[in-house]
A and B are shown apart, each in its own frame.
Chain A
Amino acid sequence: MPVGATGISTQQVEEDKLVVSIGPQHPGAGHFRFTITVEGDMIVDVLPDPGYVHRGAEKQTEYRNYTQSIPLLERSSLTDVTNIIGPYSLAAEELMGIEIPPRAQYLRMIMSENQRIISHLYWLGIQAIFLGHSTMFMWPLGDRDLLIDLGEMIGGARITYSYWIPGGVRNDIPGNFKERALKTYDYFEKRLVDYERIFFENPLFLKRTQGVGVLKREEAIRFGVVGPVLRASDVKSDTRLDEPYCLYKDVNFEVPVYKECDTWARCMVHLFEMRQSIRIIRQILEKIPSGSVRVKLSPQQRTRPGEAYARVEASRGAMAFHIISDGGTKPYRTKISVPSFRNLIVLKKLLIGSHVADMPAIYWSLDYWPVEADR
């Protein structure tokens, strides 16, 4: 088994076929391995092999009370910390039977939408560098810091805010937040125009993504994919529309849907969604009511026995928690249904029959986050 200078090992299986192992050291973001069998430069077989960052998050929640699990669960999805705690809080609140004050609902939405942009910018940077566009790698990751600054202003930390908690949000926003946020989003919207000009309209980008990795509508539904991948496959589905949580019923926003079903469409969905997130936050900042932001829970808050299945639209798609409680202070069983894990099933479908050179573009257009998928 010859090992090249790049660390990629190859193995000859047949006269004209070769098995190439990709990963587990960061084939994009996070530890994930898949092996592809190539014939010439065509991919003929794919074997995804997740699990390198499995931490047993579900098992560990059984040892902690509802509040203690929050920082632990956040770490499964560091670019999307707000939205992974979202369904957890909703499910816990359903079991505890508590109602959340409106101000807290709106604050949750602000943080959730800001998080969506942060996550999409990270995705954009990596997608661009995969396509060999290093400017589009630098810009989003630079601008992402401004949005992280906003998150820090609200939540006190830069990445792991633990902001959504069962009972509301951890703290209120500071008085000067609105002014600072509007300034940041004004600037960022101008930057999105720059992004379009230099990257999304770039012939290189179009050539590498259009017609590549097509996932037909029927297949997308049958395999149960979610989020931007589903919306790029001509399905107008978004948990914020389908089963509105928080106060998403009270804000106007559009859900992108593309008929092209290819890598290009999946990229455009991300761009579209960033603009919509800003639109939502602007509306909330205009109408957010005053009031309390949190219902105080006891440190050992008990729940009713039973089960709850709650979901939100995270950056990568529908994120759901199924919590089964026996009436104690800790969950009896927690199951996390994460979008990355649900989308993994189509990686094989999309890669077989495509060129090796298209692999990075297709792989990262799924926005697959290994740590989130492995939990």
Chain B
Amino acid sequence: MSATQPKMELPREEKALVAALSSLGEKVKLAFAKPNRIKIFAERNDVVEVSRFIRDNLHFDHCANVTGTDFPKDKQIEITYHFGSIDGEGLRRIILSLACKVPSADARLPSLINEFPSVELHERETAEMLGVVFDGHPNLKRLLLPEDWNDIPPMLKAYRLPGRLEGE
């Protein structure tokens, strides 16, 4: 869903990151690069490798957020990791997003918990809210939902809030 961005000159750090990411070749696809924000896509088989590259070569040291978005029209769920950097020089202002699209019918991808321990609770939340399985996560138990929740994962578009009609 990346929209066309207005053409603007990228700062030095962003340019260097985009250049470094392009060394991964076909494994990453650039969604957008603008000042302070870069987003890339990777296939689920490559997510772990790309995240290691982001950690070791690009010096992003923690995960700030994980967003799961349901796109029922494409029958896909998009998982976006937002990485931040504390110790990378000039990188604190930059958020690097790594997104991966998985088919709704087989919503699973490898967990990044070994690469980024900070994803632990974010992945647990995404798992219960969208029904995505993170392979290798040691504890994908329910986190925020009530223990007697007896419905489909609520952040799927197919779940409607009680009392709300279609299109409301």
Contact = CB atoms under 8 A, between A and B. Distances in A.
A324 B164 CA distance: 21
Nearest to B31: A307
B43 interface: no
Interface of A: 50-51, 54, 56, 58-60, 63, 221-224, 230, 235, 237, 242-243, 304-307, 309, 311, 318, 320, 322, 324, 326, 332-333, 335, 337, 341-342, 344-345, 374-375
Given A309-B95, A337-B64, 15 more contacts: A50-B143, A51-B142, A51-B143, A51-B144, A51-B145, A56-B154, A63-B164, A222-B62, A224-B62, A305-B3, A309-B97, A318-B64, A320-B82, A322-B65, A333-B69
Contacts of A341: 121, 125
Interface of B: 1-3, 36-37, 39, 61-65, 67, 69-70, 80, 82, 84, 86-87, 92-93, 95, 97, 116-118, 120-121, 125, 142-146, 154-155, 159, 161, 164, 168
A306 B31 CA distance: 11
Nearest to A305: B3
A224 B118 contact: yes
Given A222-B62, A242-B93, A322-B80, A345 B121 contact: yes
A326 B78 CA distance: 14
Nearest to B164: A63
Given A59-B161, A242-B93, A345 B86 contact: no
B131 to A, nearest CB: 14
Contacts, number: 96
25 contacts: A50-B144, A51-B144, A59-B159, A60-B161, A63-B164, A63-B168, A221-B61, A221-B62, A223-B62, A224-B118, A242-B93, A307-B1, A309-B37, A309-B95, A311-B95, A318-B64, A320-B82, A322-B65, A322-B82, A324-B1, A326-B1, A332-B1, A335-B65, A337-B65, A337-B82
B42 to A, nearest CB: 17
Given A58-B155, A324-B69, A332-B69, A222 B117 contact: yes
Sort A-B residue pairs by CB-CB distance and give the 10 closest, nearest first.
A224-B118, A224-B62, A306-B3, A337-B65, A242-B92, A51-B144, A243-B93, A335-B67, A54-B144, A333-B69
A60 B144 CA distance: 16
Contacts of B39: 307
B88 to A, nearest CB: 11
Nearest to B84: A224
